[in-house]
Chains A and B, each alone.
Chain A
Amino acid sequence: MADATKPKLDPRLYQIATLTGLLVYGIGWLEFDLTIARVALFVGVALATQYACTKIWKLPKFDPKSALISALSLSLLLRTDSVLFAALGAFIAIASKFVIRWKGKHVFNPTNGAVVAMLLLGKGWVSPGQWGNVAFFGFLMACLGGLVVNRAARSDVTFAFIASYLALVFWRSWHIGEPMTIPIHRLEAGGLLLFTFFMISDPKTTPDSRMGRVIFAELVAAGAYFIQFKLFRTNGVMWSLGIFALTVPVIDALMKGERYQWTRPQPKTDPLPTVVAPTPAAIPAPALLRSAS
């Protein structure tokens, strides 16, 4: 029985198309420090790792879409001199989904986990300024379009995060007496938009309950603000998300009783138990989740 509200196309295809478009723009027009060969490496290693893990953990189906999204996101974010560490980054991104899990959910957003690992190793870097501000509106359209397609499935995280971060950044400038052009400039960063709409919104690594997600988003925003404007380190959003990902199991444990926002009936072919059912926008969980029941 076809669900009338279910989108005809897998929304991850939209995400793949958007990320590919952004990559083309970045390499072709913004002169990213990135080659096609490097992108191919990320994609290749990610898909190979996903395939290998599918076999090792005996999943019923090899699904390349999530791995492809992780690889494309990694291409947009992670810079490294070394081919070896680029491959390692892609490997960590995918493998962490299978290895670092808690009660049926993987803990770290794959791309974010790989980026933080590389930053900790000192072998990679992220260039938050690489987008400049030129494509701001184009970005915004792409991201909002993504929300539309995803039917606002997990937009609460997105909006809670950006509202909190926006408030903090504006408050700081007001408190210090800086002109408003400064917080506006800070919020127009392409990297921040991508983080807001494509990374923190990952439904697989955010709390299950709506209240939990809002709290989580506010924690990440506060952490990013603290790292950026109190510790004066860079890439505050990356570090903050990596750190607060560890709180998601705690939030889930404390807010277990909350009603989930998932109201759509499950498609008949979905093999997963309803309690951890993904949204259509989500990366489908490996069948490992079934072991909980």
Chain B
Amino acid sequence: MKKVLAVFAALSSFYSVNAMAMCGCMLPPRPPPSMRVANSKLTNKSSKVIIVHDGDRTVVTMANDFDGDAKSFGIVIPVPSAITKEQIHVGEKTMVETLAQATAPQLLEYPAIDPCMRMAPSVAMDRAGSGKMESAAPGAVGGARGPGHTLQVTVEGTYTVGEYDIQILTAENAGDLITWLKQHDYQIPDGAEPVFASYLRQNMHFFLAKVNLKQQASRGYTFLRPIQIAYESPKFMLPIRLGMLNAEEKDGAEQELSVWTITKKGRVESTNYRTVKMPVSQGMLPEYVKNDFEGVYRAAFKNLERREGNDVVFYEYAGYGSTGPIGSANTDPETLRKLGVWWADGTSPAFITRLHFTYDKAHFPEDLVLQETSDSAQTQPVFSVQDDPKSASCMSKQQLHDYLNPGHAQQAQALASLTGWDADDIMRQIDKGPSAKPEETPANKTPDGKDRSWYQNLWK
């Protein structure tokens, strides 16, 4: 009996991250955890922008995850000056994926500990997928013919770069600009005129891109590659106001954005909105989290947004981009150079900050202004799961279940505080076994996340 209790005491201590055998028994060394990073399913709902900035120089990369007909693709973005052809480049999709993987949240999976003190076989490393990225590009396109008259719009440049037809525009007034855009098959939502007008009065120009179908076919691409622009401007900012017009069209849906900034010194944050660090869970999470780590992470993100308010920017990663597990994506100088890091020769460091937020007009009235701090502390959300032993030679199934229960309760609490899900629901999921799927809408919540009332639960 004493021996069993001693074993129990020792092994229950394994349910904390810093596992130490406290009982003084001779126990086998704990096998190291396997690690994987969140795959690209994590960011498939958000638009992706990469900004490389130092001094007055900036390189912006827009990853177009447009999944529809290439004919209907079009983007319009404000730029601080007229852009020449040499300042435009079409990059590779893989470089964006590499960056996303190198800065993704990590999941550590601790192998199961046999409660009967035999070494558990180590769990094979989990797959790190790279799924298809599917978010909509900012700025939809459709047909809209305007009246014909002399429009005070100056086309400052017309180029074909890669598979894109690019034009740089400026205008005397926003009305003419919008008419011109509509005449050229750009679908401009209502309410855009004041936004365009305010950019024009700040002496901004407009960068337009559409797909040149012939070029695309001749190059053999079926997806759209990222567009990159290099320019000089003291402004370090992210113009989001145009993007919000699209959001309003979709019945108030929010726009979601993942921004990577690459700078020389340290972490980047917003100066006109609160920037908050994504927290790491304080304890072990249930094993079934590994079945949908990306889904759980997104739930955690949404929960944090609810708690902190919808007018907050979150940073999910700060570091040098090569802290992933061995064999995963790492940002080598060549990838960095492709992303626009002009100093990537291995001597000056390239500090990467990954920001993530959802925005709408009500909570984000202004364009995001960014600043680089000298904070070079590295941070990355890391979550841990503890695998359960599937069976135990010295215990019955029921005994094993009871033995694991206190640990499960702790894990359920950790997951509940992270995601806002109900701890009892989580316990029920845990009891279903390790192949359970993390639920986004647990049984006692309605699909929009509200608690079900007592009478709804009565007759469900």
Contact = CB atoms under 8 A, between A and B. Distances in A.
A125 interface: yes
By DSSP majority rule, is chain A's interface helix, strand, loop, or mixed?
Answer: loop
Given A134-B309, A233-B234, A177 B271 contact: no
Contact of B366 (A122, A128, A185, A232): A185
B374 interface: yes
Contact of B201 (A30, A80, A81, A177): A177
Given A127-B271, A129-B269, A132-B274, A185 B371 contact: no
B374 A129 contact: no
B276 interface: yes
A77 to B, nearest CB: 13
B371 A81 contact: no
A45 B376 CA distance: 24
Most central of B270, B272, B374 by chain A CB within 10 Å? B374
A127 B373 contact: yes
A231 interface: yes
B269 A127 contact: yes
A133 B274 CA distance: 8
Contacts of A130: 274-275
Contacts of B269: 127, 129
B182 interface: no
Interface string B358-379: 0000000110010101111100
Contacts of B270: 129
Contacts of A268: none
Interface in B146-160: none
Contacts of B265: 122
A159 B375 CA distance: 35
Given A122-B374, A124-B374, A129 B198 contact: no
A181 interface: yes
Nearest to B236: A232
A30 B375 contact: no
Contacts of A181: 365
Interface in A174-206: 175-179, 181-182, 184-186, 189
Contact of B369 (A133, A179, A234): A234
Contacts of B377: 81
A123 B271 CA distance: 18
Contact of A79 (B274, B277, B312, B373): B373
A123 B265 CA distance: 10
A10 interface: no
A177 to B, nearest CB: 5
Interface in A194-221: none
Q: Does more than half of chain B's interface fall in helix, strand or loop, or is it mixed?
A: loop
Contact of B375 (A81, A177, A189, A231): A81
Contacts of A133: 311
B366 A31 contact: no
Given A182-B365, A233-B234, A128 B198 contact: no
B194 interface: yes
B371 A125 contact: yes
Contacts of A91: none
Contact of A33 (B194, B235, B311, B375): B375
A179 B194 contact: yes
Interface in A7-52: 30-31, 33
B365 A185 contact: yes
B375 A79 contact: yes
Contact of B277 (A31, A128, A176, A186): A31
Among A30, A124, A128, A129, the most chain B Cβ lie within 10 Å of the Cβ of: A129
A184 B233 CA distance: 26
Nearest to B196: A177
Contacts of A131: 274
Nearest to B375: A81
A132 B374 contact: no
A123 B274 contact: no
Contacts of B237: 232
Contacts of B276: 31
Contacts of A176: 198, 201-202
Contacts of A132: 273-274, 309, 311-312
B21 interface: no
A16 B446 CA distance: 47
Interface in B214-252: 233-237
B392 interface: no
B178 to A, nearest CB: 14
Contacts of B404: none
A128 B368 CA distance: 13
B108 interface: no
B452 to A, nearest CB: 29
B42 interface: no
Given A122-B265, A177-B198, A179-B365, A81 B271 contact: no
A234 B271 contact: yes
Given A175-B201, A181-B365, A231-B234, A186 B374 contact: no
A9 B237 CA distance: 46
B197 interface: yes
A123 B376 CA distance: 11
Contacts of B272: 128-129, 185-186, 189
A276 B375 CA distance: 42
A133 to B, nearest CB: 7
Nearest to B279: A31
Interface string A149-176: 0000000000000000000000000011
Given A79-B375, A124-B374, A132-B309, 16 more contacts: A33-B375, A81-B266, A81-B375, A81-B376, A81-B377, A123-B374, A128-B272, A129-B269, A129-B271, A133-B311, A176-B202, A178-B194, A179-B365, A186-B272, A233-B234, A234-B271
Interface of A: 30-31, 33, 79-81, 122-125, 127-134, 175-179, 181-182, 184-186, 189, 231-235
13 contacts: A31-B277, A81-B266, A122-B265, A129-B273, A132-B312, A177-B197, A178-B194, A179-B194, A185-B366, A231-B234, A232-B235, A234-B371, A235-B271
